[in-house]
Structure 1
Amino acid sequence: MNSSPHASPDNGPAVTRAEFDALFERVRSWGRWSPEEADRGAWNLVTPGHARRAAALVRTGTTVPMGLPWNTVSGPDNGRPALHYMSDLGDVEAPEPSCHKDFIAADYHGKGVSHLDALSHIAYRGRLFDGRTARDVVDAGGARFGAVSALGPLVTKGVLLDLPAVLGTDWLEPGQAVHAGDVLTAEKALGVSIGHGDAVLLRSGHFRRRAALGAWNPDTASAGFHVDAMPLLAEREIALLGADGDSDVRPSPVAGLHSPVHALAITAMGVPLLDNLDLEKLSGACAQAGRYEFLLVVTPLNIPGGTGSPVNPVAVL
């Protein structure tokens, strides 16, 4: 069943490119780290102390994965299906034991695969984070700056902004924007405080809506952050931003710019993004535990030159 998302004006207010460029300059953190550290961006904020404090949040040991199942089926939200096939069925003549093997691949920067966006993924006006000229450092061989291999594993405090739980709804409708005021309201309602080096995960109820009403094209309409939320998150010095969509509200409120939150987070602030997380189980686990902060572990694949990686992040309560 394919459901047409509810057309909503709630993605506004509209933002001009001039206003967006001024906002970009306001949150920009270029030059904050040394050239050797810059391709880790805001992940430089996370220290061993952050990992120790996050580990202290573990009480029950409940472990919640957030990665979507490997999706090989084409649909309105999976235009480039992942690949999975058997490459060895154990029927080749060879000494015992027989062996079964398979092959996987994915064009993962889409809507069907849970993945991490590295700093080489997004350029604005031809420049990557820290002012690197994209065409100078990204070519057919991959990225020589801001590659996912520079990031490594992240262990820090995660904060779930469960907006449907705060609002008493099943989900946010596609096209509904989350503003700075909504973030502050959610902090108060959920008893959390976003701080230095934290990972912020936004639940809109995307996959609950998909299960109830069917798939739609999130490139056309999705709930997510309005650009006016980004100065608050920059002020709090977050290290990672993620969502059950891709963090951007769509339609975009910025004329001529499809993914403005991507540009602000990745390119201006140096904050990697987690896209397409299944946050439904985490929502239930947090509600049961009565708390919305937890130990978060993100381990991207070590892909030299990669602009990101498929991931299965894990929250531990």
Structure 2
Amino acid sequence: MNSVPDFDDLPLVEGMPKGCAWGVFDRDGKKDQVGTLNFLTPDVVRNAALEVKDGVSISLNWPLNAMNKLNIPGRLAAQHKILYIPESMAALPFEQGKSWDDELSFNTQCSSQWDSLCHFQHQDSGLAYNGANPDKEALSIDSTSYNKMPTLDHWHSRGCIAGRGVLIDYASYAEEKGIEFHAFDGNRITVEDLEACAVHQNVEFQPGDILIVRTGATEVVDNMNPADLGKMAAAKLTGLHGCEETARWLWNKRFAAAASDSNSFEAYPPLKPDGSIGGMKDLVLHMYCLNMFGMPIGELWDLKELARYCKEKKRYSFMITSTPLNQPGLIGSPPNALAIF
């Protein structure tokens, strides 16, 4: 990791803004497809295992149907179909016995998720991480061995995620410090805020960490009241401040990945360079993290129990494992994430 340039020292990539890490992880003439997961070296994983002291594991996965009450148009809500096998497999020439199957249909952005490095393209060029050029045909591949797109199935070739997680519980920090804060007020959490919260929690970042930031968003949705519903209608989401300074900090810390319980990880709506309000295409950290760094973004993670346990034990680092679904060309996936203490 010491050989990886800092943000301001990254070699310029033609047609791309400063801070583009394309090619940094390429080896032996082969284009990299997993980005900052390369920071999860054997030494990093071994050290992460030292975090396991209590024998306690905590799920970070929100129910698949948790957002059905706030379904976003154009994204299929989670649907669960129960199948009684003697009926569903009646055509088979043998008796099934009393037994059950089920089927799931859902958009991979509908609950806790990882965004792959194809999820958000560089808007001017249309390219994804490391110069990949995704389209429906390229993403509809049926075998990872032929897949040239940096999608989530490639994680399985390197054992997915096992590393050290660090929780920045900004929701609790703001409450303790008397900072006006709500998960649906569009608060912009700055680098200064993140560093101050880390000091407050006695967190020391290490290269290869998986950063997790709590805003309380999923808890607001779980316990929705009329006032919260009114805030949600304004479509303002609290998250990391989407700007170059935050991007520089994320890269220079050598995070292997970053996640949050918010719907967008970064504050929404984003700000354009001139300070005016932007739209989805203007998301700054999505462009830097997913597209230019190759840093996966997790959203809508369930952090309530994790925050409670961290506060109780007064330690905010732990081992984390995450295994997305293994489907060729997968753009998003439930994280299937565990924090292990």
Higher Rg of the two aligned structures: 2
Counting only pairs closer than 5 Å after superposition, residues 89-168 of structure 1 correspond to structure 2 as: 89-90=85-86, 94-95=94-95, 97-109=97-109, 112-124=110-122, 125=124, 126-135=126-135, 138-141=138-141, 144-152=148-156, 153-168=160-175
Kept in 2: contact 1:42–1:271 (CA 8 A): yes
Paired amino acid for 2:288: L
Does 181-190 or 131-140 show the bigger shift?
A: 131-140
Deviations 1:21-51 (A, max 9, x none): xxx7343211101263511111111012211
Question: What is aligned with 1:243?
Answer: 260
Please give the secondary structure, in 1, of the residue aligned with 2:33: helix
1:155-304 residue pairs with structure 2 within 5 A?
155-168=162-175, 172-174=182-184, 175-210=186-221, 211-213=223-225, 217=232, 220-226=235-241, 227=243, 228-245=245-262, 246-254=264-272, 255-256=278-279, 257-304=281-328
CA distance in 2, matches of 1:58, 1:139: 38
Q: Distance in 1 between matches of 2:56 and 2:67?
A: 31
Count of aligned residue pairs for this structure pair: 293
Aligned-partner residue type, residue 200 of structure 1: L
Match of 2:13 in 1: none
Q: Deviations over 1:272-305 (max 9, x none)?
A: 1111101111100100110111000010111111
How far apart, CA to CA, are the structure 2 residues paired with 1:47 and 1:176? 34
1:141-200 superposed Cα distances (whole Å, 9 cap, x missing partner):
486310111112200000111002222269634200111101110111111122211100
Q: Does 1:86 align with 2:82?
A: yes
CA drift of 1:207 comes to 2.2
Structure 2, unaligned runs of 5 or more: 1-15, 273-277
What is the DSSP-based 3-state SS (H/G/I as helix, E as strand, rest coil) of the residue aligned with 2:318? strand
- Counterpart CA distance in 2 for 1:274 and 1:158 is 13
Structure 1 residues 104 and 314 mapped into 2: Cα distance closer, same or farther (>3 Å)?
same
Q: Does 1:76 align with 2:76?
A: no
Q: Report % sequence identity.
A: 21
| Counterpart secondary structure, 1:101 | strand
User: Alpha-carbon deviation of 1:218?
Assistant: 8.4
CA RMSD in angstroms comes to 2.6
Give 3-state SS (helix, strand or coil) of 1:158's partner.
Answer: strand
Distance in 2, matches of 1:244 and 1:200, equals 12
Instruction: Indicate the larger mover: 279-288 or 88-97.
Output: 88-97
Aligned mates of 1:52, 1:32 — CA distance in 2: 24
Kept in 2, the 8 Å contact 1:252–1:259? The answer is: yes
In structure 1, the partner of 2:11 is none
Q: TM-score, normalised by structure 1?
A: 0.84
Q: Distance in 2 between matches of 1:139 and 1:160?
A: 33
Secondary structure in 2 matching 1:263:
helix
Judged with a 3 Å threshold, the aligned counterparts in structure 2 of structure 1 residues 315 and 88 are, in CA distance, closer, same or farther, namely same
Letter in 2 for 1:32: V
Alpha-carbon distance in structure 2 between the residues aligned to 1:308 and 1:194: 27
Q: In the alignment, what sits opposite 1:33?
A: 25
Secondary structure, counterpart of 1:311 in structure 2: coil
